[in-house]
Amino acid sequence: MSSINSRNYESTPAQTVAFLGLGVMGGPMAGHLAKAGHTVTVYNRTPAKAEAWVAEFGAPGRHAATPREAAAGADIVFSCVGNDDDLRAVVLGPNGAFAGMKQGSVFVDHTTASADVARELSNAAQSAGFQFIDAPVSGGQAGAQNGALTVMCGGDKVSFDRVKPVMAAFARAVTLLGASGAGQLAKMVNQIAIAGLVQGLSEAIAFGQRAGLDMKMVLEVIGKGAAQSWQMDNRGKTMIEGKFDYGFAVDWMRKDLGLVLDEAKRNGARLPVTALVDQFYADVQQAGGKRWDTSSLITRLK
């Protein structure tokens, strides 16, 4: 499930860490931490995934029955779950990770969640004597498997400097962008930039197909010019072929755009294209594409 491509890890002192949430992203990220020499205790709500992870990466490491047990004694606790409520579920309450965190430790959250929940949990962590860094990622499943994610962080600089070399096990760029919540806000900027672009790319490909062009050849040519993008390079071919059964799920994108549109209501930003594309993704969900890659936006135009 978590198969990763090992890479050269920078040598950093081994740390005792925990990882909560071994999904598409979390499984390989935790795998890189183990391969880099850290002692990793994992927790996953569905225990079978944790067992499979330990079988693949677990020396020295183990899986714990609750987030609290996983966090006990750890210098750094990482999480990568679904949304705000899922994050609260693994962090708060008597079996939540916060109940097990030791003084002076750091909690690093890689979930794409709201800036509000980041600030709320950062305040709770500080009152309890440890720190919280919001650290959503970009780079997708392939980035997690290759240990090449981009990590956007918000929080306290001293704690960030402590955890940055450890995150380097699964990332090629780890940057502190401001106070608590700034990582989540930067991820929203990322998703706004992607939403309009994928719709533009969809319209371009659908237009070219109707015009009878060989679109693979066209993308090869225009991909060397000003229209080039990550989406064109990594999704153009499969959009032409109509293959969407992989990648970053439409359900997750709608969750992210919901966070974006909520934040825009507060800060007054105008996002007409993003709001429209969010509704286009609702069409894709209704057509059965909840787990399709976000490039499936083109299916509305066929």
Catalytic residues: 187
Q: Residue 248, interface with ligand NAP (CB under 6 A)? A: yes
Convert residues 43-82 into a mask of x (bound to ligand NAP by CB under 6 A) and - (unbound): -xxx--x------------------------------xxx
Query: Could you write out the three-class secondary structure of 92-150?
Result: CCCCCHHHHCCCCCEEEECCCCCHHHHHHHHHHHHHCCCEEEECCEECHHHHHHHCCEE
Among 72, 137, 192, 205, binds ligand NAP (CB under 6 A): 137
Among 31, 58, 140, 183, binds ligand NAP (CB under 6 A): 140
Distance CA 188, CA 260 (A): 6
Count the residues of the shown chain that bind ligand NAP, applying the rule CB under 6 A.
24
Report yes or no: 20 and 65 within 8 Å, Cβ to Cβ.
no
Among 39, 111, 146, 159, binds ligand NAP (CB under 6 A): 111
Nearest in space to 110 (alpha carbons), one of 151, 75, 76: 151
Instruction: Give me the residue whose beta carbon is nearest to ligand NAP.
Output: 23
70 or 90: whose CB is closer to ligand NAP?
90
149 or 232: whose CB is closer to ligand NAP?
149
80 or 215: whose CB is closer to ligand NAP?
80
Query: Could you write out the three-class secondary structure of 248-267?
Result: CEHHHHHHHHHHHHHHHHHH
Residues 6 or more apart in contact with residue 26 via CB below 8 angstroms:
19, 20, 78, 79, 80, 81, 110
89 or 273: whose CB is closer to ligand NAP?
89
Smallest distance from ligand NAP to CB 187, Å: 8
